[in-house]
Structure 1
Amino acid sequence: MKTPRVSLRSRLLYLAAAAFLPLAVVSGISLLALVHQQREQAERAGIEITRALSTAVDAELSRSFAALDALATSTLLDAPDLRRFHDRAVRVSATRSQWRSVILHDSKGRMVLNTASAFGAPLPPTTESESVAYVLREAQPAIGTISRGANGRYSFALRVPVLRDGELSYVLSAVISPDGIREVINRQRVPSDWVVSVFDARNQRVARSRQHEEFLGGPPAAGLLAAMEQPVHEGWILTPTIEGDKTYSAFTRSLVTGWTVAIGIPISYVDAGALRSLFVYGGGILLSIILAALAALLVGRGIARPMAELGEAARALGRREHLKLPDTPIVEIRQVAESLSFAADERTRGEAEREELLERERQARAIAEEANRSKDEFLAMLGHELRNPLGAISNAAQLLGAPDEESRTHARAVIGRQVQHLARMTDDLLDAARAMTGKIVLQRQPLDLAEAAARALATLRAAGRTGRRRLAERLEPVWVDADPTRIEQILGNLLGNALKFTPEGGTITISVEKVGDEAVLRVSDTGIGMPPALAARVFEPFVQGERPLDRSYGGLGIGLTLVRRLAELHGGSATAASEGPGQGSVFTVRLPAARAPQVERRRAGTKSSAPVRNVLVVEDNEDARETLRRMLELGGHHVRTAADGASGLEAVRSAPPEIALIDIGLPEMDGYELARRIRSEFGAGRQPYLVAVTGYGMPDDRKRTLEAGFDLHVVKPVDAALLADVLERG
């Protein structure tokens, strides 16, 4: 007779369920009932507290209305004798600790008196005019919404009509600090871990028991606001506070003032009893587990023998001997024994797979060595690319001492070109590093990709860089949501790459079209092409094709890396294709297309030339300092210089300049400290326009200079065009 088979998991589950399932069900039902009862009690208590708080707030407002009504009956308003009434209003306001001022508007809504200003002095504008208009229209008292005054402080106004012979003569207002309402709720002795807030008729916060100043004038938390906007005058909900803490919130809206009082009670306060019950429930579960364990021990006696046989089978597997499977009714043990037999068959296959993994490891090592070789080649290439402009600058610097003006002019032109070349090289390196580390922050805006491509082509033609190559274009207007500067970099790198590798007489074609929901930019050429293996890796950092000894193609091998990374940051992609050496190349960039904006195009006006300025240059590098001085003097500006922060501060003290160009890395007193000292020592009318001139251009660097007091952050090197723009801004 065949032995019936049953799984070990099923047998143990039956025993455990028989022990603890009934207890768990009963305990769970009791716990739910207890939690429900405690929450109902907390709801009733919370609403009662908000009613009491609402009554206290109404009483405080009523006392202020009573004082204001008494002042409105003054006979000084009959004459009227506004000067004496002003004095009396000041005395009354002094008796009310939370009154900030008393204001009087005439029947036209014009402010005629404000105790915050001396009598006869110019009066500030009315901060919150809607309640004034209501009193003028309805001749009834009103409470204004909380708002920030000209002095930057929050307050709200109580307004009453001044009636004479049944006609409204004035509107009398008391401007009250929200601190008075906060004192009212603090006097109610609500537990410190509860949150109490008071909101005006527009649900703007008037007072809060915690962080009163920080959240003054703001709205309630989203969940509470939704409940308060319902057509009920009180309620109870579970919602997070502004800080994100989960609370049970009760609120009551006053039928007299329309103001709402809300309290937030921590969940732990309401559910504390339920937590205690959980311990009881857990004890019952623990007892059930113990009973289940005892039952499992009984079952385990029937498992020991086949498990011992299973262990012997495992040892036989290690010795590569024939396996004897245990004869047991437990399905899982039989499955394990069969798995051991299967494992023996898999051993040979595993050894083969291990060899395959070793081969993959060797391939990975080869790839890593290739990457290391590419890095070494890049460093050597960078040294070569730097030596060329540095050599030209060195030679041109020697020509500056030549006696003839032609040589000196030529030397200056060489230095200018090579410095721009070095600056572009440095910018490419920094952009590539930021792109690969994800530190580029895109300044997105709607952009016509075809128009950007047309501008890039126009720039190439205007600069005469195309030579005898033919440029073809197929540009379909396609809009993208992109950073114009980064799109310009993508276009510049792709077109520059095509020009570099396309000989004279060749053709370069740029196209823009919309394919599905993508904007597709293609730059193709009839140049030297590349092998398929290189096309697959050409976007990797420092990867280049074979280079001749004369390095006629030049470059650092990072331009295409930057293209792909910028495309990915925009949510797109970049690919390359070539049919082989001598067959040309096609580079494709795909970006998410966007809807064309409905905006009016405007022609930008021309900028006027910068006026003559009084400029101070603070720079510790003598060459940089003298170069800036000469460039400024050539523009007709009055220039003084200083070599460190202390002498720069003395120069500002002796004769404050209009503009100060300050290097950040100054000895002893750095540029940040110098800017802070200048801002603290000079009044608003004597402050110079401070420009930080530095080699650091990351967003954090710009933020730090602005926090130190600088008006503008400029990254070295500073050419004539940038300098003229700085002087015009200043």
Structure 2
Amino acid sequence: MPSPRSRTLPLRHLLVLLTAIGLLPLALLGIWSIHVASEYRQREQERALLDMARALSSAVDAELDSSVAALSSMAQSPAMVAGDVRAFYDIASAQAKAQPEWLGVFLADHEGKTVFRTNAPFGAEAPALADPDSLQQALSLHRAVVGRIVRGKGGRAAVPVRIPVTDTHGHAFVLSAVVKPDRILRVIERQRAPADSLIAVIDASGHIVARSKNQERFVTQPITPALRALMTRNGLEGAGATLTKEGDEVATAYSSMSRYGWTVVTNTPMAALRAGFLEGIAVYAAGVAISLAICIALAYWLSNRIVGAFNGLRRAAAALGAGRPVHVPKARIRELGRMGRALEAAGRQRARREQERSSLMASLEQALEQAREASQAKDEFLAVLGHELRNPLSPIVASLDLMDMRDEPGARRERAIMRRQVTHLKRLVDDLLDVSRIASGKLQLELRPLNLAETVRHAVAALPGHAITLEAPDAVWILGDDSRLVQVLNNLLSNAARFGSSATHIELAADAAAGLARLSVRDNGIGMDAGLLSRIFEPFYQAPQQLARRTGGLGLGLAIVRKIVELHGGSVSANSEGPARGSRFEVALPLAAAQAQQRDATPAAEQQPCAILLVDDNEDAANGTASLLRQLGHKVEVAYNAAQALAAARSVLAGGLSTELPTQLPTEVPRVAILDIGLPDMDGYALALLLRRQYGAGLRLVALSGYGQQADLERAVQAGFDLHLTKPATLDDLLRALGPTAAPASH
């Protein structure tokens, strides 16, 4: 059996005992005093609230009058009087910008149709009016009208202030200003009302315009049924008990004396009124003093223990909040003892959670670091992959160009096969690197006015061996990147050829009504079913193929097409009537204003022989490219590293030529250095800086590298290169590299 010292008591019993001992003698006197004081205080409070509502009603009318006055002044402008709506639009736009509380100015005709709105270009199609009733009211009453508060399409609340206007020709209009409720809200804020009171302004339809609390939450909402019943019962002014939107019971006063039919509502919590019992304390202060003396003697011993127990809980709660161990002294009150044990359990649980959180954060940081390292490794791998795949392609392409120049009849078929396969392999590498740029958001366009019809014709002309028909007007102007749009068309044509098309038809048209240029590529290939159409533009997704994969590809071409078109602000779609019924791809791009057709440049004369320094550590690539350039009549010195290049430069670039060269060139011949970047002893950027410093601006520097990322191109420009070519370089690329001018762009 527990000892008397360890016995615990419920807190409820202690509080009841303390209350009964201290307050029982004063109960009857206190009830009567509180009743008298609260009734008096309520009457006085309702009178003060009604006075405030009347004053605020006048202030709200003044704010609305200022908006009406501003509109009236605007309506007296000469442009409006003369009926020059276009000129008046500029005046209204300027006035709307000068009014920070105005969202815009509207002008409507006598039929209620919007003539213009200042927050849209003149002549733009206007949406339906949000409050047509107030507009008709302004026309019929021939006076200023304030409409009901509504939210626009953008979600912003506003009140239309409307005045009727008639020009010198007798045409009737309604000029409206869309006013934010902030202006009325500031009127409320200037009143410096008590923090527990609530002030609201209601429009003529019974919807909230401004509210001193929770403005954004309740603006435009209807008033509560309790307030509406009070206004119906009392007329234009009155007071009584209502409920707020938050569900609080309040004493309310209102005034509906506004010229615009608006109502101002003020209220204060009923709880504050009930606190009026304090005014009757003096009546029964003597009784409280007598009772207090008895209560102090009897409750002193109990209060010490209660306060001590609560202090122990307070210290435990502070320790829990600070993350320190929680220790609660044993309490003789049962409920406090349970609370102390709960706090200790919460402290232990918090410690476990903090430990788990620290462990989780460490794991998360480690995972993020691994992801960053993996992303960096992926980028480096792709750059090296592109370089290593392009390097062996370079001597193959150079050799094919040499064979094409010699044009041996017996090897034409084999050359064509090799050319197709090399082109296919190069496209696979480019697609793989392009999709990496797309995934990292690094794919950039150089937009300029472009005749899409010319771009399409040139792209088709570059594919003489394909069965392609073209239907296009003379000019279709867009803002576009010529090389990227050629890539789009080549990918679509390659896709058609790989999937069995023997007759591909290209159609280009300008849809002026929709403001779009529409480019369609239709083939008679194997077609697609609905399931394939829904996924055709996903990266790495391909149509089901046989194990032999005769169509080849990585499934990236159409994904790249979609991204390039979207970066142009357009869209691409695919459709097919089913398997074996062909496919049709349509690209839609925004039209641009037609540009003056530039004259074609005068055809250049046959290219002048150049003195060329060719540097590449891939001997096959260097020798093949050198043979190709020599076949074109140029004088070429080959070096396989930077040291050989600097030695060879003294002979081929300094005005003379190597003794190994068969003929001597004049000293004014162009001088060109074609440099690989990845050299064994010195990178091509450093070599370019040395050559530029030694031979000046007269030396044309061309980078020829397997690295073709955007960062590589920018670094080449910074190193002083005039042009950047990505391996494998075609014959056209090499001829462009030897041209008289250069831009710091890449191939």
With the length of structure 1 as denominator, give the TM-score of the two structures: 0.42
For the pair shown, the structure with the greater C-alpha radius of gyration is 2
Compare relative contact order (CA 8 Å, sep 6+) and give the higher one, 1 or 2.
Answer: 2
With the length of structure 2 as denominator, give the TM-score of the two structures: 0.41
